[in-house]
Chain A
Amino acid sequence: MKTKWKPRHIEETIMKILMIFSFSLIIGSLGWILFTILIKGLPSLSWAMLTQTPKGGYYLGKEGGILNAIVGSLYLAAGGTILAVLIAFPTALFLSVYVNKKRWAVIVRLSLDILWGIPSIVYGAFGFLLMLAMGLRASLLGGIITLAFLEFPIMTRAMDEIIQRIPPDLPLAAYALGSTHFETALHVITRQVIPGLLTAVLLAFGRAIGDAASVLFTAGYTDHIPTSLSQPVASLPLAVFFQLATPYPEVQNRAYASALILTILVLGVSILSRWISYHLDRYSIR
Chain B
Amino acid sequence: MYSNEPHIETNGLNAYYGNIQALKNISIVIPRKQITMIIGPSGCGKTSLLKCLNRFFELSPNTSVTGEVLTDGENIYNPSIDITEIRKKAGLLAQRPYPLPMSIYDNVAYGIRIHHTRPRREMDHWVQHYLEIAGLWEEVKDRLHSPANNLSIGQQQRLCLARGLAVEPEIILGDEPTSALDPISAQNIESRLLDLKSQYTIILVTHILRQARRLADYVIFMYLGEVIEAGLAEQVFNHPQHERTQAYLSGVF
Contacts and interface: CB of A to CB of B under 8 A. Distances in A.
Contacts of A282: 147, 150
Interface in A75-130: none
Interface in A176-214: 176-180, 183, 187-188, 191-192
Nearest to B89: A178
Nearest to A172: B59
Contacts of B111: 177-178
A172 B84 contact: no
A169 interface: yes
Given A187-B114, A282-B147, A286-B149, A178 B167 contact: yes
Contacts of B91: 176-177
Given A176-B56, A176-B164, A177-B164, A188 B85 contact: no
B101 interface: yes
A174 B91 CA distance: 11
B100 interface: yes
B24 interface: no
A187 B163 CA distance: 15
A284 B54 contact: no
A223 B101 CA distance: 48
B110 interface: yes
A146 B114 CA distance: 44
A178 B82 CA distance: 10
B92 interface: yes
Interface residues of B, number: 30
Contacts of A175: 56, 59, 87
A283 interface: yes
A285 interface: yes
Contacts of B115: 178
A18 interface: no
Contacts of B101: 170, 188, 191-192, 283-285
A8 B251 CA distance: 49
B2 interface: no
B147 A177 contact: no
Given A172-B59, A282-B147, A286-B149, A178 B98 contact: no
A25 interface: no
Q: State the 4 A-B residue pairs at the shortest beta-carbon distance, nearest first.
A: A178-B88, A173-B98, A176-B92, A178-B87
B177 to A, nearest CB: 12
Nearest to A188: B100
Most A-side CB within 10 Å, residue of B84, B103, B163: B84
B110 A187 contact: yes
B110 to A, nearest CB: 7
